[in-house]
């Protein structure tokens, strides 16, 4: 019985290691799948947001979708560290995707959610 337990524990450890490796590779592959025409919403989550000077200002925490049109209206921009984090809704039109930097650029520094 203990032999089967050790074998099962070893298999579970290998599966956990494989899951961790897949998870660690996920952000890179997510960003690589972004196209200029469409993207799955979950692939946006965690993408870096920079200002026009290229300085990182936060990341995409979530997206807000207009129910009637099905279009993204706002991005929830998460900025700061875990002690001083802020989240604000910024209009989707204020962003453009930079494929060379693999990030979103906030093109209008005025962040009001209008």
CB within 8 A of 66, min separation 6: which ones? 72, 73
Model confidence over 75-98: pLDDT tens digits? 999 998 878 889 999 999 999 988
Q: Helix or strand or coil: residue 80?
A: coil
Closest of 72, 73, 97 to residue 107, by C-alpha: 97
Model confidence over 6-49: pLDDT tens digits? 445 555 665 555 544 444 444 444 555 555 567 777 888 999 99
Q: Are 81 and 100 in contact (CB under 8 A)?
A: no
Full-prediction pTM beyond 0.95? no
């Amino acid at each position: 019985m203990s032999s089967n337990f050790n074998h099962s524990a070893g298999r579970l450890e290998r599966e956990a290691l494989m899951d961790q490796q897949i998870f660690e590779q996920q952000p890179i592959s997510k960003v690589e799948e972004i196209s200029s025409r469409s993207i799955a919403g979950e692939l946006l989550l965690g993408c870096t947001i920079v200002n026009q000077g290229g300085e990182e200002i936060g990341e995409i925490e979530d997206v807000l979708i207009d129910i009637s049109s099905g279009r993204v209206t706002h991005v929830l921009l998460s900025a700061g560290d875990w002690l001083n984090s802020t989240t604000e809704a910024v209009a989707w039109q204020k962003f453009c995707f930079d494929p060379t930097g693999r990030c979103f650029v906030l093109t209008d520094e005025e962040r009001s959610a209008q």
